[in-house]
Structure 1
Amino acid sequence: MKKEEKIRVGISIGDLNGIGSEVILKTFEDSRMLDFCTPIIFASVKILSFLKKHYKSNVHLHGIDKISQALDGKVNVLNVWKESVNINFGKEDLKIGSYAIKSLKQATEALKNDEINILVTAPISKHSIQSQDFNFPGHTDYLNQELEGNSLMFMITEDLKIGLLTDHVAINDITKTITPELIEQKIKTIHQSLRQDFAIMKPKIAVLGINPHSGDNGVIGTEDDEILKPTLQKINESGILVYGPYAADSFFGSDTHKAFDAIVASYHDQGLIPFKTLSFGKGVNYTAGLNKVRTSPDHGTAFEIAGKNVADHNSFKEALFSALTIYKNRIEFQELTKNPLKKQPRKPQNKA
Structure 2
Amino acid sequence: MEENRKIRLGISIGDLNGIGCEVALKTFEDSRMLDFCTPIFFASNKTISHQMKVLDINIVFNGIPSPDKAIDGKVNIVNVWREIPNIRFGEATEEAGKFAIQSLKAAVAALKEGVIDVLVTAPINKNNIQSDEFKFPGHTDYLAQELGGESLMFMVTDELKVGLLTDHVAVKDVASAIIPRLIRDKVNTIEKSLMMDFGIRRPRIALLGINPHSGDNGVIGKEDDEVLKPVIKEMANNGHLVYGPYSADSFFGSDGYKKFDAILAAYHDQGLIPFKTLSFGKGVNFTAGLDKVRTSPDHGTAYEIAGQGKADHSSFKEAVFTGIAIFKNRTEYKGLTENVLKKQRMKR
2:107 & 2:29 partners in 1: Cα distance?
A: 22
Q: Is the 8 A contact 2:85 2:95 kept in 1?
A: no
1:247 is matched by which residue type in structure 2?
S
What is the match of residue 346 of structure 2?
A: none
More helix by share: 2
What is the match of residue 192 of structure 2?
A: 192
Please give the secondary structure, in 2, of the residue aligned with 1:144.
helix
Can you give the 5+ residue segments of structure 2 that lack an aligned partner in the other structure?
A: 344-348
2:313 is matched by which residue type in structure 1?
H
Does residue 237 (structure 1) correspond to residue 237 (structure 2)? The answer is yes
2:67 & 2:323 partners in 1: Cα distance?
A: 20
2:275 is matched by which residue type in structure 1?
F
2:212 & 2:68 partners in 1: Cα distance?
A: 54
Does residue 52 (structure 1) correspond to residue 52 (structure 2)? The answer is yes
1:238 & 1:311 partners in 2: Cα distance?
A: 47
What is the match of residue 114 of structure 2?
A: 114
What is the match of residue 346 of structure 1?
A: none
2:62 & 2:50 partners in 1: Cα distance?
A: 14
Please give the secondary structure, in 1, of the residue aligned with 2:108.
helix
Can you give the 5+ residue segments of structure 1 that lack an aligned partner in the other structure?
A: 344-352
1:95 & 1:308 partners in 2: Cα distance?
A: 21
2:234 & 2:5 partners in 1: Cα distance?
A: 44
Q: Percent identity?
A: 65
Q: CA deviation at 1:3?
A: 5.3
2:53 & 2:214 partners in 1: Cα distance?
A: 53
1:200 is matched by which residue type in structure 2?
I
1:76 & 1:212 partners in 2: Cα distance?
A: 49
2:225 & 2:233 partners in 1: Cα distance?
A: 11
Q: Is the 8 A contact 1:205 1:261 kept in 2?
A: yes
2:219 & 2:247 partners in 1: Cα distance?
A: 14
Q: Is the 8 A contact 1:336 1:342 kept in 2?
A: no
Q: CA deviation at 1:177?
A: 0.3
1:77 is matched by which residue type in structure 2?
I
Q: RMSD of aligned C-alpha atoms?
A: 1.2
Deviations, residues 110-133 of structure 1 (Å, cap 9, x unaligned): 100001111000000000100000
What is the match of residue 213 of structure 1?
A: 213
Does residue 137 (structure 1) correspond to residue 133 (structure 2)? The answer is no
2:224 is matched by which residue type in structure 1?
D
Please give the secondary structure, in 2, of the residue aligned with 1:169.
coil
What is the match of residue 97 of structure 1?
A: 97
Please give the secondary structure, in 1, of the residue aligned with 2:340.
coil
What is the match of residue 327 of structure 1?
A: 327
2:141 is matched by which residue type in structure 1?
D
What is the match of residue 255 of structure 1?
A: 255
Q: CA deviation at 1:239?
A: 1.3
Does residue 68 (structure 1) correspond to residue 52 (structure 2)? The answer is no
Deviations, residues 76-131 of structure 1 (Å, cap 9, x unaligned): 00000011111000000011100000000010011000011110000000001000
What is the match of residue 149 of structure 1?
A: 149
Deviations, residues 126-158 of structure 1 (Å, cap 9, x unaligned): 001000000000000000000001100000001
1:202 is matched by which residue type in structure 2?
R
Please give the secondary structure, in 2, of the residue aligned with 1:106.
helix
Q: What is the TM-score when the length of structure 1 is the normalising length?
A: 0.96
Does residue 86 (structure 1) correspond to residue 90 (structure 2)? The answer is no
2:327 & 2:199 partners in 1: Cα distance?
A: 11
1:108 is matched by which residue type in structure 2?
V
What is the match of residue 33 of structure 1?
A: 33
Deviations, residues 212-232 of structure 1 (Å, cap 9, x unaligned): 000000000000000000001
Please give the secondary structure, in 2, of the residue aligned with 1:340.
helix
Q: What is the TM-score when the length of structure 2 is the normalising length?
A: 0.97
2:173 & 2:68 partners in 1: Cα distance?
A: 46
1:281 is matched by which residue type in structure 2?
G
Q: CA deviation at 1:171?
A: 0.5
2:19 & 2:67 partners in 1: Cα distance?
A: 25
Runs (4 or more) in structure 1 with deviation over 6 Å come to none
Deviates more, 1:153-162 or 1:332-341: 332-341
1:93 is matched by which residue type in structure 2?
T
Q: Equivalences for 1:285-296 in 2 at 5 Å?
A: 285-296=285-296
Q: CA deviation at 1:4?
A: 2.4
